[in-house]
Chains A and B, each alone.
Chain A
Amino acid sequence: MLHWLTEPIHFEFMRNSLIIGVFVGILCPVIGTYLIVQRMALLGDVMAHAVLPGVAVAFFLRVEILVGAFTSGIISAFLIAWLRSQTRVKVDAAMALIFSSFFALGVLLITLLRNKLDLHSFLFGDILGVTMTDVWRTGIITIAVLLLVKLFYKELLFYTFDRLGAQAIGLPVDWIYLGFMAAVTLTIIASMQAVGIVLVVSLLVGPAITAYLLVKELHQMMGLGAVLGVISSISGMYISYYYNLPSGPSIVLVSCSLFILALLFSPSQGLLTRPGTMGGRTSWILQQLQNQKRNN
């Protein structure tokens, strides 16, 4: 068993990718928690696709990809917010339009600029090809974003719970929105390598939504989400290593399986275990019987 666990660690590429997996496994659920409670889970997907034009240009100009991706992501966030506040267009339609247009622009730019950018690894991730630079980049982003969340926790809590109330009491809601969008974009950049832009939304949403079914406070949702995120990343990588499967989809499907378990067995929300359901009643009867036996 121990050998089974330690064998992959002998390879440098596995070590690097496991470290990235842990970082991303912690970071994504923390930011994803905020997306979920604002009913903006799909924004993760939008931002993930919207970074493509920036990546293409940065690759062409040989500047740091992070800068290009960040600029592109923030512009798209601005456009969505503008469409939403200044016109009668609703947020879901604004997101759908921006996301597909930016993605199309990105694909076009890759062709026009004759980039050697590998669209496939960008779309689906290439965690086994990570370098030490990638590890450092992801590590720094993770620590910076987590620190910001810690510093602005109570303001973000207020903002995501009751935006109008936060604005009424004098919190700078526009700056909070912008800062939060920056955090989402950075999180996506950090996770791109691990699962790719098509699947990153799953890491943002999967572990956090699983935790959502199990706890009753926002910080608990983040904490448990991070634990589940790390479990998903690491087990996904091991499955990928031993069964020769693509790593991104393996991580995503582990995270999805954990969600299904919580959906069925969560004490308060589980389909089989919550009070009032067939399963819930059965477990209640069994408990009563046990109590009776104990009393006798």
Chain B
Amino acid sequence: MLEIQHLSVSYRGVQALQNISFNLPSSIVAGLIGPNGAGKSTLLKAILGLIPVQQGQIKYRGATLKQQQRQVAYVPQRSQIDWDYPITVWNVVMMARTPHAGWFRSPSRMSGEIVKEALQRVEMFDLRHRQIGELSGGQQQRVFLAKALAQQADLFLLDEPLTAVDKKTEALVSEIYTELKSQGKTLLVSCHEWGEALQHYDRLLLLDRELIASGSPDCVMTPENIQRAYGTSWHRRRFHEPLETGFYC
């Protein structure tokens, strides 16, 4: 169980998150949704301990995450990665095995097997010798998902994993979510989809610096909540949907 209590984060003088509290049990795929600048990435980074927390507590299975960092897999936003970096698909996924190998040692043969399995699961094994810059957006996201799988973590924090992906990747990612859920894992996914796609999540957390609503997609995406988070009505939002390509939630 991931427990967040009264979490506040101020980032370079700006109050980015205020008094956020929620719990996530195991076997759940939770979606984190909210307008641009709502603090979705900040929340994920705060949970990971990548930015200082002003106030509040973050616990996983009763202990702080600092004590069990290996149990948390993180997929960063794609803009955070230099896709021209000279590295192949195989070696990106192998990075997930760095802490398991320990200092001064090369990864074990078992790690090699785990990486192979993860790549096969996301259907990227045949492209393992490609440099990451030579892949399509969807393939790149699948490589990072494989990296998260290869870490064999219990808690998955994914920052907009479906940005710039194709339909095939979307379906594959959705399948993998279901599998991970059935294995008792906890997934928190910041997302920018809208409408039907939100039904894939067991639970939604609607965020706009504070937690506006949390619960099943139908309960959360009410016109009142959307109005509060986005400052626009549900009907207007739906009407303008095809035009507002830059409007991410």
* Chain A residues close to B by CB (< 8 Å): 37, 39, 88, 151-152, 154-155, 157-158, 160-162, 164-165, 167-171, 212, 215-218, 220-221
Name the distance in Å between B188's Cβ and chain A's nearest Cβ: 13
A168 touches B87 (CB 8 A): no
B104 touches A164 (CB 8 A): no
Asked, given contacts A161-B92, A217-B87, A218-B86, whether A171 binds B98 with beta carbons under 8 Å apart, the answer is yes
Q: Give every chain A residue within 8 A of B72 (Cβ-Cβ).
A: 168-169
Specify the chain B residue showing the minimal Cβ separation from A211. B86
A169 touches B98 (CB 8 A): yes
B50 touches A168 (CB 8 A): yes
Q: Which of A39, A164, A215 has the most chain B CB atoms inside 10 A of its CB? A: A164
Of B76-84, B117-125, B191-199, the one contacting chain A is B76-84
What is the CA–CA distance of A216 and B69 in the complex, to the nearest angstrom? 30
B81 touches A162 (CB 8 A): yes
What is the CA–CA distance of A190 and B120 in the complex, to the nearest angstrom? 46
B86 touches A37 (CB 8 A): yes
- Majority SS at the chain A contact face: helix
B98 touches A155 (CB 8 A): yes
Name the distance in Å between A237's Cβ and chain B's nearest Cβ: 29
Whether, in the assembled complex, B177 has its beta carbon less than 8 Å from a beta carbon of chain A, the answer is no
Q: Select which of B49, B70, B95, B131 is within 8 A of A158 by beta carbon.
A: B95
B50 touches A167 (CB 8 A): yes
Specify the chain B residue showing the minimal Cβ separation from A163. B80
Q: Select which of A37, A88, A164, A171 is within 8 A of B85 by beta carbon.
A: A37
- The interface bits of chain B over 86-120 (1 if a CB of A lies within 8 angstroms of the residue's CB, else 0) are 11100110011011010110110000000000000
Specify the chain A residue showing the minimal Cβ separation from B92. A161
Whether, in the assembled complex, B12 has its beta carbon less than 8 Å from a beta carbon of chain A, the answer is yes
Q: Give every chain B residue within 8 A of A154 (Cβ-Cβ).
A: 95, 98, 101, 106-107
Whether, in the assembled complex, B45 has its beta carbon less than 8 Å from a beta carbon of chain A, the answer is yes
Name the distance in Å between A216's Cβ and chain B's nearest Cβ: 4
A216 touches B86 (CB 8 A): yes
Name the distance in Å between B193's Cβ and chain A's nearest Cβ: 24
Q: Give every chain A residue within 8 A of B74 (Cβ-Cβ).
A: 164-165, 168-169
- The interface bits of chain B over 32-57 (1 if a CB of A lies within 8 angstroms of the residue's CB, else 0) are 00000000000001001110000000
Name the distance in Å between B132's Cβ and chain A's nearest Cβ: 9
